[in-house]
Amino acid sequence: MKQMSEAGVLRKVIGASSLGTMIEWYDFYIFGMLAKTISTEFFPEGNSTAALLSTLAIFAAGFIVRPFGALFFGRLGDLLGRKSTFLLTLVLMGGSTFLIGLVPGYQTIGIAAPLIVLLLRLLQGLALGGEYGGAATYVAEHAPPGKRGFYTSWIQTTATLGLFLALGVIMVVKMNMSDQRFNAEWGGWRYPFWFSIILVVVSVYIRLKMEESPLFARLKSEGKVAKNPLRESFRKKANFKMVLLALFGAAMGQGVIWYTGQFYAQSFLETKVALNFEQSRSILLWAILLATPFFIVFGWLSDRIGRKWIMLAGMLLGILTYRPIFNTLLNDAGTDQWKTELSNSKVQKESKLLANTSDSLIHTITHIEVANGAKYIKEQTDTLKVATGTISEGKPLIKDKVLPRPVYWKFVGLVFLLIFYVTMVYGPIAAFLVELFPVHIRYTSMSLPYHIGNGVFGGLVPFIGVLLQTTFTTDPLVGLWYPIGIAALSFAIGLIYLSNKIDKDVTD
């Protein structure tokens, strides 16, 4: 009977922690996914102050505030307790998200709009920095020895499930209204933000009923709580060297694999492959759905064979196969190969004369339906030179591609592989980080490398991608060298310096 109730408590602990963490990820992602609409609404082009605030909202939240949140809430969690701290981060995150959905646009309240949105976005970053370490520590400190990887792997599913939920909610709202209604000042783009409050209220209610982590409660009753967790984490060599090892030997590589497998893949399908909105999102949704169980599988496996080799294998697979996988995504959706089948295709052309000066622009939109089921739109703007009567052809722009079914499922398989690597590096990492640090400074010590690895190293994938693309213009896959290089460095450090030993006792 006692055993049953313990199992029940553990289920509640995992459920309450995972639900809240998933909601925090959902809240954080919807802002990024709706960045284009938010930018039009709050940060209009041509206003330099708004442009600066927009840059800060996008970059400062992930790069600076997230690690700062890890330190701030990590310290609180080691001083006051895990439960109250990660309850606070949830309220802060949910409240900020809901309020973003209520801020009137720039056209209504002027510069106050981007200022308020920036402030709320920074609060989101701060809250996210504090949530994960608390949830992972809380679950790990409840888990019995030998099952820590398995139990914390449920927390590890939440970042991907949060992404899944954010993609799903935005897709459902967008598919049920016109683009005009979705992008209006009080349009559909605000619904995902409002929806968050329902999720947060439910999650806060559940978390309020939870007890403090037994290890922290014991520490507190014995008067052994750290007096200054920041000083102990980063001033004591024995702890600080493990913080550095966790960052460079694991979290850094895990961060870029995570980001490339999910965000970069999505952006690549939309911008480089030029798939239409529905297919690019649904490919990712299918891949996430199929890959998510492997977080649990690898968490469970890490309890048996150790954390190190699973994480390093995930990094190595990414290093070796990223370029072939992304190359296949690019080539298999290339329109050149469909030219042979164009004889059976439907082609619909619309041409417009755009300007009537000395030279005229002819804008042509061609809707092409290939016999194999593929569709795409080709846009081209040619210049009619009045003086010579000749036409100077513009560069065609291919967009809104719809893949034939077999290619679509092949793409689902390839993106599944990318997320499968994510499950390998990410599934065991919570248990790995928890075991690296002593109980009295665990929240602080594990949060910082995690958020630098994911927020900074992972978050830089698109920026460095553009940087490399601008320098080396001929290779469309050149942006991948950043995640490959960082993963390789982390792999080398992890291989040489990490131990595969599982620390059975996390009570010390």
Partner 1 sequence: MNSIRKILGVVWLLLGPVVIYFLIAGAIHNVDPNGKKDINNPVIWVIIITIFLPIAIGLMIFGWYALKGEYSRNTSDR
Positions in the binding site for partner 1 (CB under 8 A): 52, 55-56, 59-60, 63-64, 67, 237, 240-241, 244-245, 247-248, 452, 456, 460, 463, 466-467, 470, 493, 496-497, 499-501
Residue 502 phi/psi, 5-degree rounding, is -90, 125
221, exposed or middle or buried, with CB in 10 Å at 0-12, 13-18, 19+?
A: exposed
Find tokens 């990318």 and name the residue: 418
* 359-369 vs 346-353, strand pairing mode: antiparallel
Q: Which is nearer to partner 1, 332 or 503 (CB)?
A: 503
Among 477, 451, 453, smallest CA distance to 465 is for 477
Residue 377 phi/psi, 5-degree rounding, is -115, 135
Q: How far apart are CA 274 and CA 472, in angstroms?
A: 21
- Tokens in use for 422? 């994510």
Q: Which is nearer to partner 1, 64 or 91 (CB)?
A: 64
3-state SS class at 80: coil
Contact 209, 83 (CB under 8 A): no
What count of Cα atoms within 13 Å lies in the side-chain half-sphere of residue 224? 12
CB of 97 to partner 1, least distance (A): 23
Q: Which is nearer to partner 1, 224 or 241 (CB)?
A: 241
Among 215, 218, 239, 242, smallest CA distance to 228 is for 239
In degrees, to the nearest 5, what angle opens at C-alpha 272 toward C-alphas 271 and 274? Answer: 60
CB of 461 to partner 1, least distance (A): 12
CB of 481 to partner 1, least distance (A): 13
DSSP string, 454-467: IIIIITTHHHHHHH
Report the run of H or E that residue 148 belongs to, with start and end.
Answer: helix 148-175
CB of 503 to partner 1, least distance (A): 11
Q: How far apart are CA 465 and CA 471, in angstroms?
A: 10
* 375-385 vs 359-369, strand pairing mode: antiparallel
DSSP string, 183-234: HSTTSGGGHHHHHHHHHHHHHHHHHHTPPPPHHHHHHHHTT---S-HHHHHH
For residue 398, what are the contacts with CB-CB under 8 A and spacing of at least 6?
274, 335, 376, 377, 378
Q: Which is nearer to partner 1, 318 or 465 (CB)?
A: 465
Secondary structure letter of residue 45 according to DSSP: T
Contact 445, 230 (CB under 8 A): no
- Tokens in use for 208? 């309020």
Q: Which is nearer to partner 1, 116 or 251 (CB)?
A: 251
CB of 328 to partner 1, least distance (A): 27
Q: Which is nearer to partner 1, 140 or 243 (CB)?
A: 243
Q: Within 10 Å of residue 29's Cβ, how many Cβ atoms?
A: 21
CB of 248 to partner 1, least distance (A): 6
CB of 58 to partner 1, least distance (A): 9
Q: Which is nearer to partner 1, 17 or 454 (CB)?
A: 454
Q: Which is nearer to partner 1, 419 or 452 (CB)?
A: 452
Q: How far apart are CA 386 and CA 391, in angstroms?
A: 9
Q: How far apart are CA 349 and CA 194, in angstroms?
A: 42
CB of 472 to partner 1, least distance (A): 13
CB of 89 to partner 1, least distance (A): 21
CB of 470 to partner 1, least distance (A): 6
CB of 447 to partner 1, least distance (A): 15
Contact 73, 134 (CB under 8 A): yes
Q: Which is nearer to partner 1, 209 or 237 (CB)?
A: 237
Query: Helices 461-471 and 481-497 sit at what angle, rounded to 10 degrees?
Result: 120
Q: Which is nearer to partner 1, 409 or 463 (CB)?
A: 463
Contact 229, 437 (CB under 8 A): no
Q: Which is nearer to partner 1, 59 or 277 (CB)?
A: 59
Q: Which is nearer to partner 1, 269 or 460 (CB)?
A: 460
- Tokens in use for 248? 């460079």
Q: Which is nearer to partner 1, 237 or 395 (CB)?
A: 237
CB of 252 to partner 1, least distance (A): 9
CB of 74 to partner 1, least distance (A): 16
